[in-house]
Amino acid sequence: MTNQVKAPHIVKAFSEELEQLSADVAAMGGLAESLVSDALQAAATRDGDLAAEVVARDAQVDAMQRDIEKKIIRLLALRHPIAQDLRVCIAALKIVTDLERVGDLAKSIARRVPTLNDSEPTAFAASVDRMGKLVLSHIHEVLDAYVTGETARAVAVWERDDDVDEHYNALFRELVRAMRDDHAMIGPGAHLLFIAKNLERIGDHATNIAEVIHYLVTGSELASERPRGPRPEQTV
Amino acid sequence: MAYDTNPAPSTVYHPAPPGMQIKVAARDLSVTYGDALALDRVQIDIPDRSVTACIGPSGCGKSTFLRCINRMNDTIDTARVRGSIKIDGEEVNDRSIDPVLLRARVGMVFQKPNPFPKTIFENVAYGPRIHGLAANKDELAAIVETSLTKAGLWKEVADRLHQPGTSLSGGQQQRLVIARAIAVNPEVILMDEPCSALDPIATARIEELIDELRENYALIIVTHSMAQAARVSQMTAFFHLGALVEYGPTEEIFTNPRDQRTQDYITGRFG
Ligand SMILES: Nc1ncnc2c1ncn2[C@@H]1O[C@H](COP(=O)(O)OP(=O)(O)OP(=O)(O)O)[C@@H](O)[C@H]1O
Ligand SMILES: [Mg+2]
C-alpha cells in the first residue's frame, strides 16, 4: 500500500507478505466492485446473460476470501504482527468479510434480472440505476482510499452514506405508492424494492470499509454510530 | 557529548491509566560513563503495583536506567549520575540513603541467574538475616518458606533445601534469585532480561510469577522480547540512544505507537 511508505522489515519476507496481503484485498475489492457494476448493468439493460455471469463469478469472490483469510491466519501465527502490522492484518480480515457480502448482494441483484425481464420495464428502473451508480461510486472510493491510504477519502464516503439512505427512502416510498395504485406493479415493484435494499446494504459495507481504513491508518476508531434518519420500514 | 548543550530529548507520553500511584520518578536523569552519555535527561513516572517494561535496541541505556534505581552505578568508577530519581518521593542519591538498605528495598534479578555458592536455604535466608528481619531460627525458616512459595519454587525444593543453589536448573535458579529478592520485603523489583536464558516453560513460570508479584510490588523489567513485554507489562518505556522516546500503557505502545522510532523498533523495521 502506497500509504505505508515506511521502512521495510529487517525480515524481508515479512514485508513482502504484508504487501501481498494488501494487494490481494485490493484485487478482491476490484472483483467485488465489478460484480456490483455488472449486476447493475444487467438490470439496466435487461441482459440475462450478463446477470447469469455475475451469479457465477460470485464464487470467485468467496474463494478469494477463503484464500486471504488463510494467509492472515498464517501471518498471525508465524509472524506475530503488532502495531501497524497487526492493523494491516485485522483490517484485511474485516474488509474481506465486507467484500464477500458485497459480492453476495451483487449476486442477489443479478438473480432478480430474469424475473424483471418477464414483465414490462418500469419507470423506476432508472431511479434504481441512479442509486446503484451512487453506491458503486462509494465502493470505488473506499477501495481507492484503501490502496492509497487516504483516510480523508474514506471518511468522506462514510459521511456521504446518508445520501444512499435518502435515495433508498425516497425510492421505497414511491414504489410502495405505485404498487398500491397499480397492482400490476406489485411483481416488478417487489423485486426493485429488494434490489434497492441490497444496494443500500452495499452502501453500508462501503461505510464499514471506510471505518476500517480509518482504523488501519490512524489506529483510532471513527465514531461508532453515525446519526441516522428514520428507516423507511419504520415510517411507512 | 555535552548533554546540557543539546536540546532535551522529547518523549511521547501516553496518558497513564487513572488511579495509578507513582512509585519511582525520574527527572532529568542522565548518566555518563567517562565522556560517553548513556542516559539523556530521562523523565518518567513508574507506577506502583504494576509491571513496567523497558525496551529498546542494545546499548540504548536500559540497564543503565535500572542501575540508577538501586544505585548500582555507584559500583562503576566511570559512571556519573545527574538529575533526580525518587522512590516514594525520596531522593535515591541523597547522602542519607544507605546503598545497602536501598538494595534491599530495590531487589534486582539479572539475565544470568546468580545464586550464591551456598545452599538453597542460605541463598534465601542470607538477606533477612543480615537485615535482622527474623528474631529466631523458626522465623527465619518461615521467611524462607514463604519467599520460596511466592517464587513458585517451594514444592520443587522443599525436600532439598540444603543442597547447593547451583544444583538447580536455570529456570529454578532464576526463581531462587527472585525468592532471595522477595525475602527482604522489597518495594521495587528490577529484572534485567530475566528470561533470556530460559526455555518457554521456565519463561512462562517466571512470567506467571511476575504477574502475581505485581499485586504487591512495582516491577521494572528489561526485555528484548516484544512478545514478553506485551504479555507481562502494563506500562512500556521505549529507550533509544539514551533517550526515553515513548512511554505509556503497553496496550497503546503495542497497538498504536506514536513515535516512528518506536514503530520501527517494535515491528522489526530498519530505523
Ligand atoms: N560499565 C560501563 N562502562 C562504560 N560504558 C558503559 C558501561 N555500561 C554501559 N556502558 C555504555 O552505556 C551505554 C548503555 O549501556 P546499557 O548497558 O545501559 O545498554 P542496554 O540498553 O542495557 O543494552 P543491552 O540491551 O545490550 O543490555 C552503552 O553505550 C554502553 O556501551
Ligand atoms: Mg542491558
Question: Domains of chain B by range and CATH?
Answer: 2-266 (3.40.50.300)
Q: What is the pLDDT of residue B4?
A: 60
Report yes or no: B145 at the A interface, CB cutoff 8 Å.
Answer: no
Look at residue A231 and tell me whether its pLDDT is greater than 90: no
Q: Are A32 and A61 in contact (CB under 8 A)?
A: yes
The more confidently predicted of residues A26 and A226 is: A26
pLDDT tens readout for residues A11-23 = 999 999 999 999 9
User: Is B110 close to ligand 1, i.e. is its CB under 6 Å away?
Assistant: no
Report yes or no: B266 at the A interface, CB cutoff 8 Å.
Answer: yes
What is d(CA A129, CA A43) in angstroms, rounded to the nearest whole number?
8
Task: Determine the average pLDDT of the residues in A40-44.
Answer: 96
A6 neighbourhood in chain B, CB within 8 Å: 260, 263-264, 269
Closest partner residue to B269 (CB to CB) among A8, A80, A220 is A8
Closest partner residue to A84 (CB to CB) among B230, B267, B270 is B267
Q: What is the pTM of this model?
A: 0.84
Residue spans of chain B under pLDDT 70: 1-5
Q: Is A70 exposed, middle or buried (0-12, 13-18, 19+ CB in 10 A)?
A: exposed
pLDDT tens readout for residues A138-171 = 999 999 999 999 999 999 999 998 999 999 999 9
The full set of domains in chain A, from first to last, is 12-235 (1.20.58.220)
Q: Which conformational region is residue B29 in: left (phi greater than 0), alpha (psi within -120 to 50 degrees), or beta?
A: beta
What is d(CA A122, CA A104) in angstroms, rounded to the nearest whole number?
25
Look at residue A86 and tell me whether its pLDDT is greater than 70: yes
> In the Cβ-directed half-sphere of B221, how many Cα atoms lie within 13 Å?
31
Amino acid at A72: I
The more confidently predicted of residues A192 and A2 is: A192
> Cβ–Cβ contacts within 10 Å for residue B91, how many?
12
Please give the residue of chain A at the shortest CA–CA distance from B264: A7
Q: Check residue A9 and report its DSSP letter.
A: B
B266 neighbourhood in chain A, CB within 8 Å: 82-83
Report yes or no: B238 at the A interface, CB cutoff 8 Å.
Answer: no
The more confidently predicted of residues A119 and A39 is: A39
Q: Are strands B188-192 and B12-13 parallel, antiparallel or unpaired?
A: unpaired
Q: What is the pLDDT of residue A1?
A: 43
- Mean model confidence pLDDT for chain A: 92
Q: For chain A, give the percent of residues with pLDDT over 90.
A: 83
Q: For chain A, give the percent of residues with pLDDT over 70.
A: 92
What is d(CA A68, CA A92) in angstroms, rounded to the nearest whole number?
8
Q: How confident is the model at residue A50 (pLDDT cuts 50, 70, 90)?
A: very high
Q: Choosing among B224, B266, B269, which should be mutated to test the A contact, i.e. which has the most A CBs within 10 A?
A: B269
> Cβ–Cβ contacts within 10 Å for residue B96, how many?
6
Ligand 1: residue whose CA is nearest its atom 29: B59
- SS3 label, residue A229: coil
Q: Do B267 and A87 touch (CB under 8 A)?
A: no
CA angle (A194 as vertex; A190, A200 as ends), nearest 5: 145
Q: How confident is the model at residue A125 (pLDDT cuts 50, 70, 90)?
A: confident
Query: A130, A146, A132: which is closest to A208 by C-alpha?
Result: A146
Q: What is the pLDDT of residue B178?
A: 94
Q: What is the pLDDT of residue B89?
A: 95
Q: What is the pLDDT of residue A120?
A: 86
Q: What is the ipTM of this complex?
A: 0.74
Ligand 1: residue whose CA is nearest its atom 8: B64
Q: Is A48 exposed, middle or buried (0-12, 13-18, 19+ CB in 10 A)?
A: middle
Q: Do B263 and A83 touch (CB under 8 A)?
A: yes
A215 neighbourhood in chain B, CB within 8 Å: none
> Which residues make beta-bridge pairs with B249?
B235
Q: What is the pLDDT of residue A232?
A: 58
Report CA Rg, chain A: 19
From B1, B42, B62, B70, give the residue whose CB has the most ligand 1 atoms within 8 Å, as the site to mutate: B62
